[in-house]
Homo-oligomer: A and B are copies of this chain.
Amino acid sequence: MTDRVYIEDVFQHKIPDGSDVILRGWLYNKRSSGKLLFLLVRDGTAVIQATVYKPGVSAEIFETADKLTQEASLTVIGKIKKDERAPGGYELQVTDVKLIGQSVDFPITPKEHGPEFLMDYRHLWLRSKNQHAILRVRHTIIKAIRDFFDGRGFTLVDTPIFTPAACEGTSTLFETDYFDTKAFLTQSGQLYAEAGALALGKVYCFGPTFRAEKSKTRRHLTEFWMVEPEVAFNELKENMELAEDFIEYIVQTVLRTRVEELKTLGRDTTKLQNVRAPFPKIHYDEAVKILEDAGLKFEYGNDFGSPDETAISEKFDRPVIVHHYPSAIKAFYMKRDPNEPDKALAMDVLAPEGYGEIIGGSQREDNYDMLVSRIKEHNLPMEAFDWYLDLRKYGSVPHSGFGLGVERTVAWICGLQHVRETIPFARMIHRLKP
């Protein structure tokens, strides 16, 4: 009996050379040379070259193979043969081909298409080699994220999507009718993760988050995945150390396990190899000095814009952590430094090569009265935070955490210009389909 196999298993030498096998998949591409027909067959795990030799098969089989069109689905039977020259190191010598499903005028041809066209056909665009590579790297990054925290004894605390109140103001919130009241879609699981950290010590939440931002940039999605660790008794220093170990782990895991995919994407990995802890850590004031020295126009006290972040990160050979941002530009829940009361115990990690902020975090305000003042100063509705204030009422402790955006991390590691390709079905201001 001939077994059905996956191409990936062939390439990983799991199938003995010379085996007769059945492949099921789709026609990726085709070319012919005299009596030979070369079918590039993909089955989702990889692409193999299947060779049909005219004198070796019946006229009927050859005709079936010859008529196959791009993305037709098919069963191919044949013998696998080691061949150094073939992509993947193996080819399939075809003895039989059966068409399963036709594919007439597949919309995405090997020619160039504009990004809007490709996004309209995202459900089919996913079949291309580059998109496979990106999604596999994304998968590896997500797995590395979970493995990192699981391996360090963190407990997963899935935080709610429906929330009764806004964490950082309501202007960019999606809203929905929730029976007889209103609910907002979460922008961050942090406040809930804090409750988790005070219960379970070390926790992380990891799920989709939402921002109704009208900005149409290459770095914004309305729906994106974010992981947020939160650790009881961690202060700013430990928070920065956790962040650098975390990023090192993600990047080195991808470099170790996704070499082929990064090659497919043409990613220059030399700069990724440098991503090793410890990262340089600079005070906000030092970062401002870098901007001044570079001759950039920047007003002290402001947040950094995209060109500022690029100018700062260019000074270093790996990600850089900027800490002690002015409290005035940071969220209400960030603790101020007692020694520098106008600065928050905040930190951002800036990725190299112009990819900007990939992590934002802080030590949290753990004093009840201070937190009440902050909520008032920010004109936030006190009643929405009664439960959150309880965390400072019953056994408050210093604690810290941060958030990492998955899509920006994928864009950086894959070397992509735009985040729209970093998620299977991107959602943006003008994009809700397919």
Contacts and interface: CB of A to CB of B under 8 A. Distances in A.
Interface of A: 4, 6, 8, 24-27, 43-45, 71-73, 100-104, 106, 121, 123-124, 126-127, 131-132, 135-136, 138-139, 142-143, 146, 150, 153, 155-164, 174-179, 181, 183, 185, 192, 195-202, 207-208, 210, 212, 214, 222-223, 225, 232-233, 366, 387-388, 390-397, 423-425, 427, 429-430, 432-434
Given A26-B198, A123-B195, A127-B199, 6 more contacts: A73-B396, A146-B146, A164-B433, A179-B214, A179-B429, A387-B433
Contacts of A200: 44-45, 126, 132, 135
Contact of A155 (B104, B136, B146, B201): B136
Contact of A424 (B6, B104, B196, B396): B196
22 contacts: A43-B201, A44-B202, A44-B232, A45-B202, A73-B396, A101-B366, A103-B394, A104-B393, A106-B395, A121-B387, A123-B192, A124-B390, A127-B198, A132-B200, A146-B146, A163-B432, A164-B433, A175-B176, A179-B214, A181-B432, A183-B432, A207-B208
- Specify how many copies of this chain sit in the oligomer: 2
Contact of A26 (B132, B388, B395): B395
Nearest to A209: B161
A100 B397 contact: yes
Q: Interface centre among A135, A159, A163, by most B CB within 10 Å?
A: A135
A421 to B, nearest CB: 13
B395 A427 contact: no
A164 to B, nearest CB: 5
Given A153-B45, A176-B175, A159 B199 contact: no
A109 to B, nearest CB: 12
A154 to B, nearest CB: 9
A395 B71 contact: yes
A206 B185 CA distance: 18
Given A178-B174, A208-B208, A158 B429 contact: no
B176 A176 contact: yes
A197 B156 CA distance: 28
Q: Interface centre among A27, A192, A395, by most B CB within 10 Å?
A: A395
Contacts of A123: 192, 195, 387-388, 390-391
A174 B174 contact: no
Contacts of A161: 161, 208, 210, 223, 427
Contact of A427 (B146, B162, B201, B233): B162
Contacts of A232: 24, 43-44
A208 B73 CA distance: 32
B164 A73 contact: no
Contact of A139 (B155, B164, B394): B155
Contact of A124 (B158, B177, B394, B397): B394
Given A100-B396, A366-B101, A176 B178 contact: no
B44 A106 contact: no
B103 A395 contact: yes
A158 B225 contact: yes
Contacts of A155: 44, 135-136, 139
Contacts of A26: 198, 395
Q: Interface centre among A142, A198, A394, by most B CB within 10 Å?
A: A394
A181 B135 CA distance: 29
Nearest to A392: B101
A24 B27 CA distance: 60
A6 B138 CA distance: 33
A192 B425 contact: yes
Nearest to A396: B101
